[in-house]
Amino acid sequence: MEFNNQLAIYLQIVERIYEDILLGKLKEGERMPSVREMAVSTEVNPNTVMRSYAHLQEKEIIFNKRGIGYFICDIALNKIQNMKKEEFLEQELPKLFKSMQLLNIDIKDLEKQFEVYKKEK
Amino acid sequence: MEFNNQLAIYLQIVERIYEDILLGKLKEGERMPSVREMAVSTEVNPNTVMRSYAHLQEKEIIFNKRGIGYFICDIALNKIQNMKKEEFLEQELPKLFKSMQLLNIDIKDLEKQFEVYKKEK
Amino acid sequence: MEFNNQLAIYLQIVERIYEDILLGKLKEGERMPSVREMAVSTEVNPNTVMRSYAHLQEKEIIFNKRGIGYFICDIALNKIQNMKKEEFLEQELPKLFKSMQLLNIDIKDLEKQFEVYKKEK
Amino acid sequence: MEFNNQLAIYLQIVERIYEDILLGKLKEGERMPSVREMAVSTEVNPNTVMRSYAHLQEKEIIFNKRGIGYFICDIALNKIQNMKKEEFLEQELPKLFKSMQLLNIDIKDLEKQFEVYKKEK
DNA sequence: GTGGTCTAGACCACC
DNA sequence: GTGGTCTAGACCACA
């Protein structure tokens, strides 16, 4: 897995797990890869993965069954959607609009770009 | 001045100066507030302001006249506009579009929100 | 059986057996449920039950007749009572008193609560 | 500092900090010892102290000023009192009463013990 | 000076 | 096999 330098690795792992749940790659009730497995697959120290998992457990996205592993909570998907939506509305959007005004960018420009983006994917 | 804990204080100051230039509050050729003045007005350690100014100097947004102070470069406005546009296109937009797809948000929703935002201001 | 995540499962099983003996649900000389039965009834891995039984055997609360099963020792009740009393006096009480002092809770408050508790049961 | 083996060291440090706040040894608004200082005074690895502090920050008992240190939140005392009271009422007390019934211990016995305890201190 | 992150490696209890 | 904790040591950004 490739990491960028702006955000702590353990948080980038968290973000990727959020995405995987949003995209249905990880489903509620399912078992997470073990700490060690995840450490190997992401080429990261197990401690770092542990930190990601601890963070997710704190946020009640996953929970632990002793000696067995981590599992995705039942309300995980909904919780993440709400969290992300709030983040979007309260942080991303205001920042976006501010940038647009400062740079005199029109909403029409965005539309075009978005079409391009969707086709690329 | 109020700071958010996610970004280094010196960079938050830099951002505010960028904005002030974009909005014409600070004009090319003008003298910047002295480090000490700025430190007082932002309630921050002078070292921190110094760091902001050094950063701006490196980016050739401001320049220093020894013993006199810092002044805004002639090409500052244009430079910032380009920098911000690039940042917008290469970082903000992709992130925005990704969020929109993950959360099933339509570009039409954005338009409405933007109208609201413009009226509020 | 429902388990709490703070204490090892095998120890929670041990605790429940202690209680059953103290309450007379399990009597001295009686045969314990087999490891498999217990595993089914508590919805736990047989290894875990095995561990509980091994723990109890080590404490001389139960003993094993090879090929037949586990039986409750003759002095089990008395032994558990002493163990629990010691635990109560040396660990629970000091912790309780410390909490009471830190939180300014009076012994009178406890009395009232205890009356309520006894009626509820 | 002496640690017992039943609870993670970083949580024992957390507990001691709770107590210090409850006892007024640490006051709201005050700066915490730096991570390194605390590590030396408790004879523990700085990482472990870091973990305690991160935990306390998560619980909004302390907060961080970048480059300066950790400070005790304004509502810390109240928050801890509530937390501890809830813990006491919902966990310690039921456990206590259960023990008392199983062991036939009277509330009068407790009173006497408590008097002894208070005199010792 | 401050915190924050990461790695490597060890050890442990538990299922 | 699972997670959890701790140490030691390094490196970095920040005030």
- Structure-token match 């940038």, residue found: A99
Query: pLDDT tens digit string along C54-88?
Result: 999 999 999 998 889 999 999 999 999 999 999 99
At CA D37, angle to CA D35 and CA D38, rounded to 5?
A: 65
Determine the pLDDT at residue C18: 95
Determine the pLDDT at residue D8: 95
Identity of the residue in D81, D107, D121 whose CB atom sits nearest the CB atom of C110? D107
CB pairs A-B closer than 8 Å: 59
CA A13 to chain centre: 8
Query: pLDDT tens digit string along C79-118?
Result: 999 999 999 988 899 899 999 989 988 888 888 888 887 7
**CA of A29 vs chain C CAs: smallest distance (Å):** 18
d(CA A103, CA A116): 21
Q: Is the CB of A10 under 7 A from strand F?
A: no
Query: pLDDT tens digit string along D35-73?
Result: 999 999 999 999 999 999 999 999 999 999 999 999 999
Q: Do chains C and B touch (3 or more CB pairs under 8 A)?
A: no
B81 touches chain A (CB under 8 A): yes
Q: Using the predicted structure, report yes or no on whether residue A19 has a pLDDT greater than 80.
A: yes
Q: What are phi and psi of C114, to 5 degrees?
A: -70, -40
| Nearest chain B residue (CA) to A117 | B97
Torsion over CA of C102, C107, C110 and C114, rounded to 10 degrees?
A: 150
pLDDT band for position A1 (cuts 50, 70, 90): confident
Query: pLDDT tens digit string along B41-68?
Result: 999 999 999 999 999 999 999 999 888 9
Q: What are phi and psi of A68, to 5 degrees?
A: -110, -50
The answer to whether A113 and B93 have CB atoms below 8 angstroms apart is yes
**CA of D111 vs chain C CAs: smallest distance (Å):** 7
- Structure-token match 């210090």, residue found: D20
Q: Whose CA is closest to D13, among D66, D70, D75?
A: D70
Burial class (CB in 10 A: 0-12, 13-18, 19+), A121: exposed
D60 touches chain B (CB under 8 A): no
Domain ranges of chain D: 9-75, 77-120
**CA of B66 vs chain D CAs: smallest distance (Å):** 29
CA–C1' B110–F14 (A): 36
CATH topology of domain B9-75: Arc Repressor Mutant, subunit A (1.10.10)
C-alpha distances in angstroms, B113 versus A95, A111, B85, B110, D54? 13, 14, 22, 5, 37
The three-class DSSP label of residue B22 is: helix
d(CA C116, CA A115): 67
D118 touches chain B (CB under 8 A): no
Tokens describing residue D6? 């039943």
Q: What's the helix, strand, coil split of chain B in %, to 5?
A: 65, 5, 30
B83 touches chain A (CB under 8 A): no
- Structure-token match 């929703």, residue found: B109
A109 touches chain B (CB under 8 A): no
Q: Using the predicted structure, report yes or no on whether residue C121 has a pLDDT greater than 80.
A: no
d(CA A87, CA A15): 13
Using a CB-CB cut-off of 8 Å, the residues of chain C touching D111 are 107
Q: Which runs of consecutive H residues, i.e. helices, occur in chain A?
A: 9-22, 35-42, 46-58, 76-87, 93-102, 107-120
Query: pLDDT tens digit string along A82-110?
Result: 999 999 988 899 899 988 888 888 888 88
Using a CB-CB cut-off of 8 Å, the residues of chain B touching A88 are 99, 103, 105
Using a CB-CB cut-off of 8 Å, the residues of chain A touching B101 are 118, 121
- Give the E-state strand segments of chain C in sequence order: 62-65, 69-72
> What DSSP string describes D56-117?
HHHTTSEEEETTTEEEE-TTHHHHHHHHHHHHIIIIIHHHHHHHHHHTT--HHHHHHHHHHH
B113 versus D62: the higher-pLDDT residue is: D62
- Structure-token match 């946020």, residue found: A59
CA–C1' D8–F6 (A): 9
Using a CB-CB cut-off of 8 Å, the residues of chain B touching D66 are 5, 8-9
CB pairs A-C closer than 8 Å: 4
Buried b (16+ CB within 10 A) or exposed e, A73-89: beebbebbbeebeeebe
D91 touches chain B (CB under 8 A): no
Tell me how long chain C is: 121
Nearest residue: Cα versus C1' of E14:
A67
